[in-house]
Structure 1
Amino acid sequence: MTTLTTPPTTTLQLSPEPGSWVTVCEEGRLTPGRGVAALLPDGRQAAVFRDRAGRTYAIDNRDPFTGAQVLSRGLVGSAEGRPFVASPLLKQRFDLETGRCLDDDEVTVAVFPVRSRYARET
């Protein structure tokens, strides 16, 4: 008897709370330089990004200046070697590693740890 299996896939997970991991999507579905929104179990949203070097980041999707869930639609770039996303509404830039607003030192967004996991489908 022959068993057919598919090759392993890599899923992207993030940790909205210490000690818990949530599967977001297959890693290959992320387009470098663009973001996607992910709904978390507690109703919050995360903005997930992959840069052109293959690093992944996840921050809160809520723009703290407007309250809109739009950061996943922002423009990705870098300033002084730091990756950021610029809000599509008012253009404030948020560091993807720290969540710090590069345009207002008093404002931050949450940052979520991200990991890749291999999952074999049968």
Structure 2
Amino acid sequence: MHTVGLVLAWLVAVMIIWVGVMYLLKNEANAAGFGLPNLPDRPARAWWQLKGVRDVTSGIVVILLSLVQPTALPWLIIAETLIPFGDMLVVLGNRGSRARAFGIHGLTAAVMIIAAVLLWLG
């Protein structure tokens, strides 16, 4: 179970790093997939770049902690679950796409919780 949890943790970490890099490089194109109903004007693109920095950093922290302090990894993953859960609430609170809110952000939070539980059980 531990190995499956670790693989899930790394998979989510690598995926969120990739998402973050895409927000840094092509933020308007990626922002459309976030689930919010309206995108900010082009001058406000820095907000999407901030999301990119957050995502890259979150993924790197998971990978680094798994290497240097693996017993703390499930706790970090649970704490970082607040990010996709919060994103889901923001999308829903702004009348964005329910499918994207639950299918992207909610599913990510659920996979993270599963990874943490598997790490604890392993």
TM over 0.5: no
Q: Which has the larger radius of gyration?
A: 1
- TM-score normalised over the length of structure 2: 0.24
More strand by share: 1
More helix by share: 2
